[in-house]
Amino acid sequence: MKIYISVDMEGLPGVTSWEHVDERNKKYAHKILTEVVEWLVDEIKRSEKNEEITNITIADSHNFGENIPYDITYIDERIELISGYPRRNYMMPDMKGDEDVVFFIGYHAGVGALHGILDHSYSSTVIHSVYINEKKINETLLNAIYAGTKGVPVGLIMGDEALRREIIDSGEMSWVEFVVTKQGLGRFSARHRSKKKVEEDLRRAVSNVLNRLGKIPLYRIDPPYKLRIVFQTSGFADLAQLIPHVDRKDGRTVEFTSDDFEVILNTLHAITAIAYTGVNSGRR
């Protein structure tokens, strides 16, 4: 049995500002990030399924993937840490398809979510919104679709209340064990839940998911897949249209279509990366 864990930061408990998720800033939320991963792994070890679990892959999926210390692998010999950037499939790197379940930890609401803490979709600087087959989509759903195409279900998500509304209340993945970390009062303010309560809920969720393995649905959208990206400015679209087979639709919008969702995922990341060169060049 194998578990794949993708870890972001904006949805972690206690986080309300970009400074909290920037490793160069003294306010960086490194301690809570490490603690959450430790709670999660400890509960896996306590599970009745523990002896059946042979691998725990943890993908450091925030920014350049340099947030989770390598020392985390010392707490359990089954842990393999994926870190660094660039890499294919960004937040879901090196998923083999033989995993039994995926956990999304520290995830956040999509761009424009009411009271979503640090809401964005891949890049708040570059991207205004992302759509798959006409459906406005956030990072959680995009990664869940990819996992589904690999035959791996999403069992647990930890994030803010706004993300819970996008995932659970919307009916997109009502079966998921969702751990709420905080309730947004604005993009940079929140009512934080007790750290103890968050830990208790996470441990309970891990236990519940492991007891349901083999019964968790896949999240799927049927191909072909049409990716639509609306940028913050037309300058970013000017850069994105340089990629072959990317179609310019209007001043700020490009589209790309494929039957292979892994191609969609990596094209989105390539488009974002090339568009971001406009930030540094001043041409945006």
Helix (H, G, I), strand (E, B) or coil at 133: coil
Radius of gyration of the chain (CA): 18
* Per-residue pLDDT, 130: 97
* Per-residue pLDDT, 49: 95
* Per-residue pLDDT, 24: 85
pLDDT mean over 185-213: 97
pLDDT tens-digit readout, 244-266? 999 999 999 999 999 999 999 99
User: Going by C-beta distance under 8 Å and a sequence separation of 6 or more, which residues neighbour residue 134?
Assistant: 226, 228
Query: Is the pLDDT assigned to residue 281 strictly greater than 80?
Result: no
DSSP annotation string for 10-76 = TTSTT--SGGGG-TTSTT--HHHHHHHHHHHHHHHHHSTTGGG--EEEEEE-STTT--S-GGGGGG-
pLDDT tens-digit readout, 8-53? 999 999 999 999 999 888 788 889 999 999 999 999 999 999 999 9
* Per-residue pLDDT, 27: 85
pLDDT tens-digit readout, 84-137? 999 999 999 999 999 999 999 999 999 999 999 999 998 888 999 999 999 999
| CATH class of segment(s) 2-121+138-211 | alpha beta
* Per-residue pLDDT, 251: 97
Q: Where are the domains positioned within the chain?
A: 2-121+138-211, 225-281
pLDDT mean over 192-214: 97
Query: Is the pLDDT assigned to residue 210 strictly greater than 90?
Result: yes
Please name the residue that has the structure tokens 């568009």: 275
Query: Is the pLDDT assigned to residue 283 strictly greater than 70?
Result: no
Judge whether 2-121+138-211 and 225-281 match in fold.
no
Q: What are phi and psi of 127, to 5 degrees?
A: -105, 130
* Per-residue pLDDT, 282: 64
Architecture of domain 225-281: 2-Layer Sandwich (3.30)
* Per-residue pLDDT, 23: 85
Query: Is the pLDDT assigned to residue 219 strictly greater than 70?
Result: yes
Question: Average per-residue pLDDT in the chain?
Answer: 95
Structure tokens at 119: 């809401």
* Dihedral class, residue 7 (left if φ above 0, else alpha if ψ from -120 to 50, else beta): beta
* Per-residue pLDDT, 115: 97
* Per-residue pLDDT, 280: 67
* Per-residue pLDDT, 284: 58
